[in-house]
Amino acid sequence: MKCVKCGGKRSKKGKVAHSVTVSGVKINGELAGEVCSACGAQQIDLAELERFELRVAAALAVHGVCTGEACGTASLGHPG
């Protein structure tokens, strides 16, 4: 995979630390991806990222957080 940062072609498979914070809940993960051996830029595998987002949605459900993104429905502005 070509590096998006420096354009270098030498990258190796590795783990990329990734975290997202939704409604104050932080979810950390280590995703499979590629690390550029020239500049160190990290690129996460898209399929991995999708899997992580599913885990995030599940984790948010556990925390009782329901956002438009996590639940797949837009907020309609419920009172209270």
Q: Does 14 bind Zn ion (CB under 5 A)?
A: no
Could you give the string, one character per residue 32-71, with x where binding to Zn ion holds by CB under 5 A and - elsewhere? Answer: ----x-xx-x------------------------------
Tokens of 53: 């987002």
Of 6, 46, 41, 14, the C-alpha closest to 30 is 14
Q: Which residue do the tokens 């354009």 mark? A: 7
Query: What's the min distance (Å) between Cβ of 46 and Zn ion?
Result: 18
Report the residue number, 38 or 71, with the smaller CB distance to Zn ion.
Answer: 38
| CA distances for 20 relative to 31, 49, 72, 76, angstroms | 12, 11, 17, 24
Only segment of 5-13, 21-29, 45-53, 64-72 that touches Zn ion (CB under 5 A) = 5-13
Helix (H, G, I), strand (E, B) or coil at 33: strand
Only segment of 7-15, 18-26, 54-62, 71-79 that touches Zn ion (CB under 5 A) = 7-15
